[in-house]
Structure 1
Amino acid sequence: MKLIPSYKYWIINFFGWILFALFMLTIDKITYGGGDSPNRMYYLLSEGVLCGILGFALSFIILYFIENYFNIGDYSKRDVYKLIAVVVITQVIYHSLLWPMLNIPANYFLNKSVDLTLLQKLTNVPHFLAYFIVWLFVVLTLKLVYYINTIKVKQLQLEANLKESQLNTLKGQINPHFMFNSLNNIRGLMLEDADVARNMLTNLSETLRYSLTKSELNSISLEDELEMVENYVEISKIQFEDRLQFETEIDQKSLNLQIPPMIIQMLIENSLKHGISNLKRGGKVSLSTLVTNNLLQIKVANSGTLQQSKNSTQLGVKNIKKRLELLYGQNATFTLIEIENEVVATIKIPIV
């Protein structure tokens, strides 16, 4: 939520500053005998208006900093110190301009200048500082409420996206073609090697169970995801046979890190569907993870070219990008490039 471009904020802020200054400054002085003459009362009224206008103008310095350099949802102590410094600078400017400005109505209505000692001016600092603190509290409250509502909306979008991801995955795994091929291949294996066939049935069962349970979670450990990927690859090897080579290079420090469920499985599925399946001689799929600079890098590379996937809907890629955006905002990245007849998909997410 940006307040500076909003004309409604300008109007409310302008009248808010003036009314607040009149209430806190002018009415208080008039009540205690400050308005014993018309000229004195006119001066006090103009004093309140000028204080309000000056506060209104200088408040945009603080607001500009908040909206461009202060993230209400992710700020550090350093950011707080910077905000305090901006408020202090604003106060210096405020008091440097205030007293010369007040001399104008004082000379006009009272035929004299505002004659205060440095100590008297300093004693007014907490009073005027209170105006900015009240205004700052209101602005930060508005932004915090907006941030909380935004988080709620993103959470709802994420839950909907995860449900969609779950359904898309189930469509890819529990469709008649997939089930028929898997079970038919397992049946053939039973005549050749009953133990291998039994292991394939276990892999198929674990894969389907994972898609029904784990995909409902917002995050899981990378180690759990790798277990599911291994089952998925073993099942796929029945179809691809010797055409599929699968390699992994896993950073041990990444095993316990949390990632979105089924995100690696989607990368592997895309590499098989749009890469290996289009190559008569098959190819290689490699999966690697790396922890560096507070980031977890997940990379899946497969033989093939991106041009072979032009006619696809890119549903899996769009799903991955959307989920990363909802979970991590701009802190996560996803790239899909071709390097020397190899398609490389890379995900980088912050370590929480």
Structure 2
Amino acid sequence: MKKIRLNKKQQYWLLQIVGWLSIVFVETINYTFFIVRQFVWEYVFQFCLLAVSGLVASHLYKTLFIKPTTFEKSLSKIWGKALLDTFFITLIMVCTFFIPYIFYSPEFFSTTDFLIQFFGQMMNIARYVVVWIIIYYLYHILDRNRIISQQKLIVENLAKTSELELLKSQLNPHFLFNALNSIKALVLIDAEKAREAIIKLSELLRFTLNYEKTPLIRLSDEIDEVVKYLELEKIRFGDRLDVHIDLQEETLDAKVPPAMILTFAENAIKHGITQLPDGGIIEIKSTANSHSLKVEVCNTGELNENETKGIGLKNSSRRLQTLFGEKAELLLKAKSPNKVSVSIIYPLKYSNHE
């Protein structure tokens, strides 16, 4: 058997009709068995009029005066408005109830009985309006909390995913094994250089473990870590690795995402230098104009199509756009038949982080 599923609008109208018609049933039972102790059609007609006026008044009031932004405020403001809404909806219904008297008994409005009946009806009808307000407001408050919880879960999942991707973009474990093996061999040849290499390796590891705590660092600080990494790799590659760093002086204090250039340098070693029997060259350049900063890492080698689809590249691109906006770019291309270039370009003026 196929289940019938109602959308939110259909659910709303179903609850509206059933809810207000239940007043007719409850009041008819109350008057028939406990107040007047007999069935009177006139009372049923009045209860039907009350239900119709309640349905129309509550819907119009909801449409005109209860906006979705109401439920984005604090709970005290939400329930304060709920109290006012109860009063005004009740007032509209009571005024509707007394409209017929304008035509067949206008003098009734100048009597004391009118005031007694008016406030009596206010108290009586307010009972039902309060129920409507509580149900309607609670539904939206709970729905709002559900949306916030879902958004929180999405953000937490994105954070975990980003954290995993950042961990993936940290130094390759193979580098650590190679560096330690190189240092072990260096100990037998030059103990002083081996000691310096151990210091550089420890400083580099400390940097890669702590860099996510700071969204941006100075370019000069980032390059210091890149130099340590490349010097450690040079122990392994020797003359097969040649490094050229050319930084425009005006760019040294510019802010860059930590470990991003370090990741590019590692990729240059992994996908470029290690694939070439004769080794190659790694070049790091930085330039700036009045509007933007460009940092480029070039290495000897050929561009592999898989590199353009890697997680690390997508993660770096997302980091750039998160920090510097949509104008930030990450470009990976073959600069010549035997040279690959990756560059980041982003505006020097931005508002995401200072």
TM-score range, shorter chain: 0.5 to 0.7
Counterpart residue number, 1:254: none
1:139 paired with 2:136, answer yes
Q: 1:185 to 1:79 in 2, by over 3 A?
A: farther
Alignment CA distance shift 1:232-1:169 (3 Å): farther
The match for 1:27 is: 29
Q: Alpha-carbon deviation of 1:68?
A: 2.3
8 Å CA contact 2:23–2:51 kept in 1: the answer is yes
Paired AA for residue 89 in structure 1: F
The equivalent of 1:16 in structure 2 is 19
8 Å contact kept, 1:21–1:48? yes
Deviation at 1:12, TM superposition (A): 1.7
How many percent of aligned residue pairs carry the same amino acid? 17
Q: In the TM superposition, what are the counterparts of 1:143-292 in structure 2 within 5 Å? A: 143-175=140-172, 197-210=197-210, 234-238=224-228, 239=230, 242-243=245-246, 245-247=251-253, 265=258, 269=260, 273=264, 282-283=285-286
Question: Unmatched 5+ residue regions in structure 1?
Answer: 108-112, 216-221, 250-262, 286-300, 306-310, 325-332
2:340 corresponds in structure 1 to none
Residues 310-332 of structure 1: CA deviation (Å, up to 9, x unaligned): x677732786699x9xxxxxxxx
Q: CA–CA distance in 2 between the matches of 1:90 and 1:321? A: 52
DSSP 3-state at the match of 2:29: helix
1-structure distance, mates of 2:325, 2:186: 38
**What is the DSSP-based 3-state SS (H/G/I as helix, E as strand, rest coil) of the residue aligned with 1:93?**
helix
Q: Pick from 122, 127, 136 the counterpart of residue 125 of structure 1.
A: 122
1:134 positional shift: 0.9
Q: Equivalents in 2 of 1:272, 1:302: separation in Å?
A: 18
Work out the CA distance in 1 between the residues paired with 2:244 and 2:131: 71
- Give the corresponding residue for 2:326: 336
Range with greater deviation from structure 2 (231-240 or 186-195): 186-195
Scaled by the length of structure 2, the TM-score of the pair is 0.57
Structure 2, unmatched stretches of 5+, are 1-5, 231-242, 269-281, 297-307, 330-343
Decide whether the 8 Å contact of 1:55 with 1:94 is kept in 2.
yes
Q: Deviations 1:154-195 (Å, cap 9, x if unpaired)?
A: 343333323321221122114368658987999999979777
Following superposition, the deviation at residue 19 of structure 1 comes to 0.5
- Length-normalised TM-score, structure 1: 0.57
Work out which of the two has the higher radius of gyration on C-alpha atoms and give 1 or 2.
Answer: 2
Root mean square deviation of aligned Cα: 5.1
- CA deviations on 1:116-143 (whole Å, 9 max, x unpaired) are 5123202221221221211111122222
C-alpha separation between the residues in 2 aligned to 1:52 and 1:229?
71
Residue identity matched to 1:337: K
Deviation (angstroms), 1:247: 2.5
CA contact (8 A) 2:328 2:347 kept: yes
Q: Which residue of 1 aligns with 2:278?
A: none
Q: Deviations over 1:25-77 (max 9, x none)?
A: 333222234364x6xx21211222221222122222453444422134x4375
